[in-house]
Structures are given as structure tokens and as C-alpha cells.
Amino acid sequence: MPTVAVSVDCEAANVGKCYTRELVKVSEDYTVPLTWLIYVSEKDPLSNLDLYYNEYFHRIPAWHEIGLLGKFEDSKGYIADPNERGNVIRIGRDALKSRHVKPSSFRAHGFDLLPSDLRHLEDSGFLVDASSCPGSVDKHGVARPPAPTQPYHPSYDDLNKPGDAKMVSAPLAAFKGVCGYLDLGWEKIKPVLEHCGSNCSVVNLALTDCVDNVETLRKTLQYCKEQNSRFVTQTQIATL
């Protein structure tokens, strides 16, 4: 009986489409908590957050979780400096706190996490990072290096190796180069579920709020329910 977590990359304000209301309905139909990772960047810290604060926070059940999807960019472009990246993490945390959310789960937008980010995340109170999709091609088409496929404490020097970090890395499910992003559609996700459901104790999945994932989510949750899966939020993975 695998444990399953499902997170949503919340980027709708940047795209103009949003299926959050429908996704909430599916989660309620199956009584499955989702983790909503709200996009925040230093360049634009509030537009996406306020869309969710004004339109959706009151619709998301209290037994779900809200975390941070952080993008390392500012008005000048990509941020590579470790200290400036730490500022992005703190700005995202503080932006959510200003809307009465204390985030403890994180994903780097574009899977762009560096080893130097770990201490900044820990100092900001984050317990779980879900930026790894080991040995597969992520939703942006970038091949990810091999790494542990189950939750682990990463190294401060190499995110793809176990180490002494306090926070937990919760890698996304993957099989034969396919990452567990529901955006890919049911036909591609089903083999990932079949493999990971039989070979993994934790199956971590993700989707995007601006893609019509409603039916894929429904089929995924139905399949997992039939396997007697237990469902948790991202932060709850750290307690397993």
C-alpha cells in the first residue's frame, strides 16, 4: 500500500487559465489532500498569490496544504548568486505569511534548485523540497540526473546524493524517463503509477493549475484508491 502525495504548481495568473476550482472538486470527491505550491518570484511577488488569496484560498479545504513555488529571477533576469537566491526564498515565505500562510513545503520553479539553497530553505522554516525528478525528463523537457527515488535528506554539496541536510527531498515519481507530472496525460502517467505503486513506498505526483488535468487527476486518484493508497501532503512526507 504506497503512500501518495499530489502537489499543484499554481501559476495561473501568469497564463490566464485556471482549473483550481475543478481540481478542488475532484479532491473532495475522493477525500484526497492536495498541496498547492503558490508561484512567487522577486520580480512579481504578489500577482499570482493575490489571485489565490482573493479567489481560491476560501475554496481550498483546510485539510489541504499551501506551500511555495519559488522562481529565482528579478527584473534583471536569472539569479545565480547564493545570497540573492536566499532573498528570493525569504521574499516568497514572507509574501505567503502576509496572506496568513506559513509554508513548509517548497518546489523550485523549473526544478532550478542548487545545493546552496538548502540552508536558506531550512533557515526559512521549510521542511520538504519537491524539486527532484530523478532519471527522467521534467515537464520543461530537461533531463534530470539519477538520484534517490524515495524521500531522503540530501547532501549540502550534491542534491542528488544523501547527506546531512535537515530538510527532506521528496522526489517526484518517475519511470523509464517519464516524470510523474499529470500534465503529460493519463496514458503516460498510468505506467508510472503501475511501476511506482508496486516498487515504491512513497509516490509523489504533481500537476499544473493552468493545464486541464481534471480527468487525469480523477483517473489517478481512482487508480490509487483501488490500490488502497494512503494520501498525504508534501510536508507530511517528512514524518513518514
Note the pLDDT of residue 117. Answer: 98
Through-space distance between the first and last CA atoms of the chain, rounded to whole angstroms = 14
How far, in Å, are 89, 142, 178, 206 from residue 82 at the CA level? 11, 22, 30, 27
Distance from CA of residue 118 to its chain's centroid?
Answer: 16
What's the predicted TM-score (pTM) here? 0.96
pLDDT in tens, 172-181: 999 999 999 9
- φ, ψ of residue 195 to 5 degrees: the values are -70, -50
Average pLDDT over residues 155-174: 97
Average pLDDT over residues 113-138: 95
Query: Among 14-23, 81-90, 98-107, 111-120, which is the least confidently predicted range?
Result: 14-23
3-state SS, residue 184? helix
Domain 3-237 has CATH 3.20.20.370: yes
Cell of 32: 484526497
Note the pLDDT of residue 15. Answer: 81
- Judge whether 36 and 66 are in contact, CB under 8 Å: yes
